[in-house]
Structure 1
């Protein structure tokens, strides 16, 4: 029996079927999943420069429907938010989302060591004023080994809670490195032929990519829209099997 109550759902969103929530951590294919949902014809919002997570947090605090302000979307990815020492992990609000909406949940995952390496690379590339305060706020330290232990514990607890509390028919646990995209198609209710739309996004960079990235200020890279960054990253990506730090 699920521990999550599913009664009294009052949230209102775009019509057309169940909502789809990606509820794994970042650096686990959030970009690839969002792009896949869009290619399958589901209006999807991914991160929205942190506004999605901030809006979700604000709505919950004010007693509004969790997704008020995002009613036109059917799929939601990367609901996390980080800004210095302020952070919010929206995917951990799966209970509130399930209680409010007719929804399905994708718990995206990947091998633990690859995920931890991807996180380490991700935060190492950020300016210290942006990355270090968040790690300090989360874990009380910036020591790499202790930070890795903190991420490991967070993930284990979150995965355990999701598996225990969401109904089995409403949850897909999806390993971005080994699971077939046909599983996603079946779960979200699109034809199996849509599996061709799933592809790796944000791969780790090859040598040329790293050299070019080092020349661009962080603020410039952050400001570029995803529709421009994604094809460039694929072109400058390392070969398959050399992408432990990919987002997916």
Structure 2
């Protein structure tokens, strides 16, 4: 199961929901998430060399955040039976959240790999525009690619954070506890 939505689109909530359903999840490649975690440097090197058989793939059931959403097409072609979930939210709310969350934080290798000199969305209007363009392009390409495919679900957890769609899509029973709604960026 691959969550192919950008960061700040409910991926933390989706990850917690998948863990509740019994999935072994990995969310990004921060230090300590698995034995080879190095903030993505090793995964980036493999991807840049054209090798998409990432070391994390045999270790987990569900993959969220980067680099997985960046290589969604290669993952879809290599894993045609896998399920794909696009988490999204309005572009305006998304970029506001990114600017608040990432502004003044250390730029990690994955963000630099994705955005180069514009890795901090709060650093300039041009950086904000680059992030928005990448977000909109990413979502449009995914929606086009997966149109009418049964192994695809689009979720906007800011509008409907419930078990209904996710459990129906994964053919899982709905848990009794409320759907987790986590990691809300404070204003």
User: Do Structure 1 and Structure 2 share a fold, with TM-score over 0.5?
Assistant: yes
CA contact (8 A) 2:153 2:169 kept: yes
Matching of residues 30-179 of structure 1 within 5 Å: 30-49=11-30, 51=37, 53-62=40-49, 64-80=51-67, 90-101=68-79, 102-127=81-106, 130=107, 134=112, 137-138=117-118, 143-166=123-146, 168-179=149-160
Deviations 1:139-168 (A, max 9, x none): 799653322222211111111111111252
Residue of structure 1 aligned with 2:169, choices 183, 187, 192: 187
Q: Which structure has more helix as a fraction of its residues?
A: 1
Q: Could you say which residue in structure 1 is the equivalent of 2:34?
A: none
- Unpaired runs of 5+ residues, structure 1, are 1-19, 81-89, 206-244
From the superposition, tell whether residues 160 and 125 of structure 1 become closer, same or farther in structure 2 (CA, over 3 Å). Answer: same
Aligned in 2, Cα 1:99/1:203: closer, same or farther, shift over 3 Å?
A: same
Q: Per-residue deviation at 1:49? A: 0.3
Q: Distance in 2 between matches of 1:115 and 1:141?
A: 11
User: Aligned pairs, how many?
Assistant: 174
For structure 2, the residue ranges without an aligned partner over 5 or more in a row are 32-36
| Aligned CA distance change for structure 1 residues 141 and 118 (closer, same or farther; 3 Å) | closer
In 1, Cα distance between equivalents of 2:175 and 2:43? 30
Query: Whose radius of gyration is greater, 1 or 2?
Result: 1
Q: SS in structure 1 opposite 2:103?
A: helix
